[in-house]
Amino acid sequence: MSGRRAAKVAFSYLVAAAIIVWAARGVPLAEIDRHLEQARLSLFVPVTVGAFLCWFLGETLLYSRLFSFFHRRVTWREMLPMTTAFYFLQVVNGALAGAAFAGLIQKRKGVPWLESGLTMLFLGLLDFQVMALLVLAAALFGRDSPLSFTWRYAAAALALCWATAAFWLAGPPRARLARRLYDWEPMSAFRRASLAHYLSLAGIRAPIFLAQGLALYLDMRAFGLRVPPSYVFALTPPILLLTALPITPIGIGTEQAAVVLGFQAYGARATLLAMSLSMSGMGLLLRLALAPVAAAKTATLLPDDLPA
């Protein structure tokens, strides 16, 4: 690893530590430790491991379908080592992980690097739609929840996403500038996507997100927190969105801030910190456990010109 890249990694972990310190201000470490000792590990550990496997294996299927739809056929078995490398490298740096994943797709399936990245951007657009639909559903089934008002924001976000999708589904536009964007080769996933593709990919992504909401609810139960399910499922999409931002490695720090701020009405900050730190710690350990497989399967495939 170059010195510049190592400095970026160190800085991202320093940012994560600073956010955790901010979220934990005024909370004694002994209090956090006490809540860790009182947690029901017999519930927390299998739920957290199961949620990780659901995300990891589910995204492997999602990525294989995504690139099979719009580029070349990729089986779940072929995608597995690439997803493994992607997940492991996220511990180091999100940008590095994304660049490595695009490089692996290019070397294994011949998909150009930029086109691969924009295909993942298409998936991001789909993810945002699924998140908005989940927030709408949580608001509908939890009308007495303090977050019931969020349906307006979710509906606005969904309308914007659907307008964007409609642009691509409508076919070649007449306006010259819009036509240049539409015909730009790296945007092939947007251009080739049909309504059936949207529904198929959403049918894989939605259960993955729902599993994370269920895991968060059960993890809270493991730490003695009683939060209405509708509230948990309404906050799960924003938490997933915040932890996906390339600010810190695998959302460490941002997850603690989101959980503390989002659920402070339902539990002590020490309890919320103990739970969220345990979740991040388990996620880190599980990703590090992928190292041998990632190295064995992808060492010869990683591109040499990854961004520093």
- Examine residue 161 and state whether it is found in any structural domain, yes or no: yes
Mean pLDDT of 19-24: 92
Residue 291 CB: number of other CB atoms within 10 A? 14
Does 174 have pLDDT greater than 70? yes
- Examine residue 288 and state whether it is found in any structural domain, yes or no: yes
- Examine residue 236 and state whether it is found in any structural domain, yes or no: yes
pLDDT in tens, 85-132: 899 988 887 777 888 898 889 988 999 999 999 999 999 999 999 988
Domain span at residue 256 reads 3-298
Does 43 have pLDDT greater than 90? yes
Does 44 have pLDDT greater than 50? yes
Query: Tokens at residue 15, please?
Result: 């940012």
Q: How confident is the model at residue 59 (pLDDT cuts 50, 70, 90)?
A: very high
Mean pLDDT for all residues in the chain: 88
- The pLDDT, as a whole number, for residue 238 is 85
- The pLDDT, as a whole number, for residue 6 is 76
- Examine residue 303 and state whether it is found in any structural domain, yes or no: no
Residue 63 CB: number of other CB atoms within 10 A? 23
- Examine residue 307 and state whether it is found in any structural domain, yes or no: no
pLDDT in tens, 138-154: 777 765 556 666 778 88
Does 303 have pLDDT greater than 50? no
C-alpha torsion 271→276→277→283, nearest 10: 150
What is the count of structural domains for the chain?
1
- Examine residue 86 and state whether it is found in any structural domain, yes or no: yes
- Examine residue 305 and state whether it is found in any structural domain, yes or no: no
- Examine residue 306 and state whether it is found in any structural domain, yes or no: no
Sequence-ordered list of residues with C-beta below 8 angstroms from that of 2, at least 6 positions apart, any chain: 308
